[in-house]
A = this chain, B = another copy of it.
Amino acid sequence: MIRQLIEKIQKTKAPVCVGLDPMLDYIPEHVLKRALDEFGETLEGAAEAIWQYNKEIIDHVYDLIPSVKPQIAMYEQFGIEGLKAYVKTVKYCHEKDLLVIGDAKRGDIGSTSSAYAAAHIGKVKVGSKSLSSFATDFLTINPYLGTDGVKPFVDVCKEEDKGLFVLVKTSNPSSGEFQDRLIDGQPLYEHVAQKVVEWGADSMDGTYSNVGAVVGATYPEMSSVLRKLMPNTYFLVPGYGAQGGTAEDLAPCFNEDGLGAVINSSRGIIAAYKQDKYKKIGAENFGEASRQAVIDMVADINRVL
């Protein structure tokens, strides 16, 4: 699976994914109003609004990018109706030939992790049938429970040729509270990184492993160390743009082959029409603002590669 992502990155010259994290207050008034007029102030109405919003953005950016990263929490908050919009979004992205990274940060013990893996990147057996549900290409997972919580995901990756990104060093301000604490002279995130290499050693797909890592853009000096510790691990990098990470901060996430990282931007792309820079495009043309923001983001990143 990581090989497919790399091919798409090389084709589009865009090592990015667009974070489809539709908060209601990002959605232009006219889109929201239309949905709520039709379905009322209900979970169904909210779900319709986020789906219409996503669709417009996807239609405007799909040819520029290799991948998207829907954050499932933003759909889950609207319950079953929200998750239907998640499924619809994943399907639509696949129709547009985009790879989909499900940002779910799931993680539990053995049989429970197996169930999550089946839900998101695998299949579940019902009688004689094998059925899939959320059907993304990649999934983000949490390592706190250790190997027996992670292995079921790795197993499904192998069976189904899917990919993972394991949280190593996250982009948020308090990520260091536990992740940076020193164990035998090394921060916890480096210990996790070593495990990620171990977990992924048997899932190589070309030069890189299908088991990747989440490494925040906001701590470039740590990215640099992690890049060396995990030479064959692809990084999913959140934190660019709205969270404060700059293109210069991203450089250490890449290998010398210009590969090794896919940079996410959510708000910076999907709510671009709200930024001063793109305001003149107008809220009614929010998809075009997102397109321009993708073009600018890709140029900004390629500048440092």
Once the chains bind, are A191 and B195 in contact (CB under 8 Å)? no
- Which residue in chain B gives the minimum CB-CB distance to A187? B183
Once the chains bind, are A178 and B149 in contact (CB under 8 Å)? no
Question: Of B125, B129, B143, which one neighbours A144 at CB under 8 angstroms?
Answer: B143
Once the chains bind, are A77 and B124 in contact (CB under 8 Å)? yes
Q: Mark A77-100, 1 if CB is under 8 A from B, else 0.
A: 111101110010000000000000
Q: How many copies make up the complex?
A: 2
- Which residue in chain B gives the minimum CB-CB distance to A116? B73
Chain B residues whose C-beta falls within 8 Å of the C-beta of A15 in the assembled complex: none
Q: Mark A175-202, 1 if CB is under 8 A from B, else 0.
A: 1111101111000100110010000000
State the Cβ distance, A274 to closest chain B Cβ, in Å.
15
Question: Which residues of chain A (127-158) have a CB below 8 Å from chain B?
Answer: 127-129, 131, 133-134, 142-149
Question: Of B21, B87, B147, which one neighbours A177 at CB under 8 angstroms?
Answer: B147
Cα–Cα, bound, A36→B128 (Å): 11
- Which residue in chain B gives the minimum CB-CB distance to A39? B126
Is residue A167 contacting chain B, with contact meaning CB distance below 8 A?
Answer: yes
Is residue A275 contacting chain B, with contact meaning CB distance below 8 A?
Answer: no
Top-7 shortest CB links A-B: A79-B133, A146-B177, A146-B174, A41-B127, A109-B172, A73-B115, A77-B115
